[in-house]
Amino acid sequence: MKILIVGSGGREHALVWKISQSKRVSKIFAAPGNPGMTQLAELVDIKPTSIIELADFAQQEKIDLTVVGPEQPLALGIVDEFNNRNLKIFGPTQKAAMIETSKSFAKEFMRKNNIPTPAFKVFSSPSEALDHFSEAQFPLVVKADGLAAGKGVYICKKKEDAAAAVNDIMLEGKYGKSGERIVVEEFLSGQEMTFMAVCDGKRVFPLATSMDYKKALEGDKGPNTGGMGAISPAPQISRDLFDQIMKTIIQPTVAGLKFENKEFKGLLYAGLMITRDGPQVLEFNARFGDPETQVVLMRLKSDLVDILDGAADENLFDVAADWEENVAGCVVLATKGYPQKVVTGHRIQGLERAKSLGVEVFHAGTAQDAEGLATSGGRVLNVCAVAPTLKDAMAKIYDGISFITFEDMVFRRDIGWSRK
């Protein structure tokens, strides 16, 4: 089979790495990919948002399966375009991706289907939102309705914070059209968990659980990021909790979307808060998490192509997964300033020595030129390992990191820590 991966981050490098282990695969392309992939895949210079060009490429190269990493192409309808041309693709249609691209849609959908989620109200008028804050209970959470690259979520301790969030999102238009509406929801405390499942429109194939570390700084301080690290399994998971998540969240979501003619084919990502009253959904994504995918795939023993191809063919019947009992960890090496402005172009050194310790290093924001490898983004590298215990996995990762250098390198030293 010939496979095309769309995207260029650590998540996509991990997908390429895992897919390259499949006996069914003869060739992998990545658009646009990154320098870490070059031994496993041929890089194609097409942006993930250029969906017509991607479909033209898949047609010319007779690609057997395309796998989409990031959310923007899904929001733009890449799957609809491929479906129209009879090209096989793993991902949801534009309509089904609304579970991620519109938080107000997702919240109303959950209310209708009795899927546990914090109580909420949707506002499209700033003054109505401000009126609501005079009588609301604090803390509460204000969220931009549309895609905001992991930003656009404000935890507000008091009325003034909420008013400032409305100002940013609706009046100043910091997130453009994504901020035309907001969701205001109840604040929940508990421990977060990521639950990802491959879906074929009807059936669900749960992946191993994971947890990511969203805050930029140690001790879960500082601004939210795309994720500074991850571990798998999630520390608080038990058989009962797994079954409860499948029964009260994942299965009703897939069934409810099908009922609304939005059959979900692709990766359903539930960002959960495990509260004293059980699991509740903070957000859905319509794609693989980054960096959760890195740790989950490190533990997958089965052929990922069987799973993704089975879902794309609406045939998840025959697929079974086999997982390492081991624990996986991932630490993101970022550039100082992330998730805000960063300076790029710094030389990266020490990767080979790190890898000789047995860690996997997935590339995210890297660029290659005649002189070698340099930084090209906020999240630069993902250092990952599996070991019998979390402590061993993290020790191996931090040993590996000690060999890697680039100017402005920052990372959290407390990945693996949890409040369990």
Q: Where on the chain is the footprint of ligand AMP (CB under 6 A)?
A: 118, 141, 143, 153, 155, 185-188, 192, 214, 224, 271, 282-283
With CB under 6 A as the contact rule, which of the stretches 152-160, 241-249, 256-264, 288-296 interacts with ligand GLY? 288-296
Binding residues for ligand GLY, rule CB under 6 A, total 8
Taking the least distance from each CB to ligand GLY, the nearer of 227 and 256 is 227
Question: CA 86 from chain center: how many Å?
Answer: 27
Structure tokens given for 54: 């991607």
227 binds, among ligand GLY, ligand AMP, none (CB under 5 to 8 A by kind): ligand GLY
323 DSSP β-pair partners: 300
Taking the least distance from each CB to ligand AMP, the nearer of 225 and 335 is 225
Of the candidates 57, 72, 70, which has an alpha carbon nearest to the alpha carbon of residue 27? Answer: 57
Structure tokens given for 145: 């309705």
Taking the least distance from each CB to ligand GLY, the nearer of 22 and 294 is 294
Closest residue to ligand AMP, judged by C-beta, is 283
- Dihedral of the alpha carbons of 138, 143, 145, 150, in degrees to the nearest 10: -160
CB of 180 to ligand AMP, least distance (A): 17
Taking the least distance from each CB to ligand AMP, the nearer of 186 and 306 is 186
Q: Which residue of 200, 212, 263, 309 would you call a contact of ligand GLY, by CB under 6 A?
A: 212
Taking the least distance from each CB to ligand GLY, the nearer of 222 and 350 is 222
- With 0-12 / 13-18 / 19 or more C-beta atoms within 10 angstroms meaning exposed / middle / buried, residue 240 is exposed
214-233 residues in contact with ligand GLY (CB under 6 A) are 226-227
188 binds, among ligand GLY, ligand AMP, none (CB under 5 to 8 A by kind): ligand AMP
- Dihedral of the alpha carbons of 155, 293, 295, 409, in degrees to the nearest 10: -60
Contact 262, 96 (CB under 8 A): yes
Residues with Cβ within 8 Å of residue 331, at least 6 apart in sequence = 228, 229, 382, 383, 384, 394, 397, 398, 401, 411, 412, 415
381 phi/psi in degrees, rounded to 5: -140, 155
Q: Which residue of 81, 263, 292, 303 would you call a contact of ligand GLY, by CB under 6 A?
A: 292
With CB under 6 A as the contact rule, which of the stretches 52-60, 79-87, 185-193, 285-293 interacts with ligand GLY? 285-293
CB of 212 to ligand GLY, least distance (A): 4
Q: Indicate the DSSP class of residue 90.
A: E
Q: Which residue of 64, 290, 309, 360 would you call a contact of ligand GLY, by CB under 6 A?
A: 290
Opening angle at CA 336, ends 334 and 339, nearest 5: 70
226 binds, among ligand GLY, ligand AMP, none (CB under 5 to 8 A by kind): ligand GLY
Q: Is 94 in the site for ligand GLY (CB under 6 A)?
A: no
C-alpha span between 56 and 46 (Å, rounded) = 11
Residues that bind ligand GLY (CB under 6 A): 150, 212, 226-227, 285, 289-290, 292
